Amino acid sequence: MSQFGSLKKSLITAFFGPKHFLDNLRKTGALRLTDSKIDSLLQSFRNNPDQFQNYLKEACKRQEIAPKDLLNLAKLSFQASQLSNNFSSEVIPNAQRKSWAKACLKQSAKLCCDEAQIIYASLVFNQIKFTEDELKTCVEWMKRVSDHSPEPEKASKASKLLGVFYQRLGKAELANTMFQRAAALGDAESYVMHGRIELANERKTQAKWAFEKAASMDHPLGYFYLSNLCTNAREKKTYLLKAASFDGCPPEVAHNLALIYDRTEHNDKLAIEWYTVAASNGLSISRFNLAQLYQRVGDYQAAMGQCDKIASVPGSIGKNATRLREEIRTKMALSTDDPARSETNIRKCIIM
């Protein structure tokens, strides 16, 4: 391979990852561009990034590039930015990869590629800063896809994105309308979002119906919110256990299970287990409850360890943890002075 060929391959690999990623797209018909054409796109971007959008526009006018090509190159570049910087000898900053990908997405979206419009709008809506024109364009795109896409999945995604956007603006009823539309097209999470708005408006019957629909589609948050509406402890526990069976469920699921085992069933072993799960996922209140439980069963060292981890947390939890830590120190000092109250005797009640 010539030196130029090696450099070209190095640049392509740096932007998109191992060569077989591109080859796989070509095999499925998702990409028609040659390596030479892709390299010319990359060189144009690197030489004059400010004019790259115009370069893409003209290339598309000449039908040298299809919207689908730009969409799939952008997706591949985003994927590479999440994996590694060590694909080739030439290291590309992730910010540069993302800038390239966003430009490709934008041009593909302008040519009415539904998927490109959805991904681009998602990026814009999630930005802290965006221009008014950018925002207006993305809202128009999502309305178009929501109203006219022949593919229910894409129409559903666009509707949900609009729902999230309107919710951030405080337009709850508009958001609710879009979530209902997305839910009717088969999006389980949109049933949850719809249910939450109904719940916030104290329409519990409608909220419960929405959460039941989400649960019927096996969405963990459907189970979780149903558990919050239950008055029957056994039913509440059943819903929480179903929610807890999913990876990535909110830590509040584990915390609420721990509360049942701790305060209703008095099963210290399972309470400790579930408080630990919730605490390890960032819930400080779970760690405080865990410290209290360890104190109650006499494992003072474990209780102190939990208090130490949250003593610096701002607000009441940190203050209460500091207070509890001092109480435990006092008890530990007393147990050392009085053999009858020694830690060895106290620890006999711990459930192993």
Question: What DSSP state is assigned to residue 340?
Answer: G
pLDDT in tens, 44-53: 999 999 999 9
- Indicate if the pLDDT at residue 341 is higher than 90: no
- Indicate if the pLDDT at residue 337 is higher than 70: no
Angle, in degrees to the nearest 10, between helices 152-168 and 114-125: 20
Distances (CA, A) of 165 to 37, 119, 309: 37, 14, 37
**Spatial contact of 78 and 101, defined as CB atoms under 8 Å apart:** yes
pLDDT in tens, 284-312: 999 999 999 999 999 999 999 999 999 99
In the chain, where the domains are located: 1-111, 250-352
What is the C-alpha separation between 243 and 247, in angstroms, rounded? 9
- Indicate if the pLDDT at residue 254 is higher than 90: yes
Helix (H, G, I), strand (E, B) or coil at 30: coil
pTM: 0.83
pLDDT for the residue numbered 6: 46
Q: How confident is the model at residue 350 (pLDDT cuts 50, 70, 90)?
A: very low
Alpha helix positions (H), the chain: 3-16, 19-27, 35-47, 52-61, 67-83, 94-110, 114-125, 132-148, 152-168, 172-184, 188-200, 204-216, 220-229, 233-244, 251-259, 268-280, 284-297, 300-310, 316-337, 343-346
Of the chain, the end-to-end C-alpha distance in Å amounts to 66
pLDDT in tens, 145-165: 999 999 999 999 999 999 999
More confident: 8 or 312: 312
- Indicate if the pLDDT at residue 331 is higher than 90: no
250-352 is classed CATH 1.25.40.10 = yes
Q: How confident is the model at residue 332 (pLDDT cuts 50, 70, 90)?
A: confident
Q: How confident is the model at residue 17 (pLDDT cuts 50, 70, 90)?
A: confident
**Mean pLDDT for the stretch of residues 321-343:** 76
Mean pLDDT lowest for which of 98-102, 202-206, 263-267, 317-321?
98-102
pLDDT for the residue numbered 336: 61
In percent, the amount of the chain with pLDDT more than 90 equals: 77
pLDDT in tens, 66-89: 999 999 999 999 888 887 555 554
Residues 6+ apart with CB under 8 A from 114: 145, 149, 151, 154, 158
**Which is nearest to 349 in space by CA: 271, 277, 276, 294?**
294
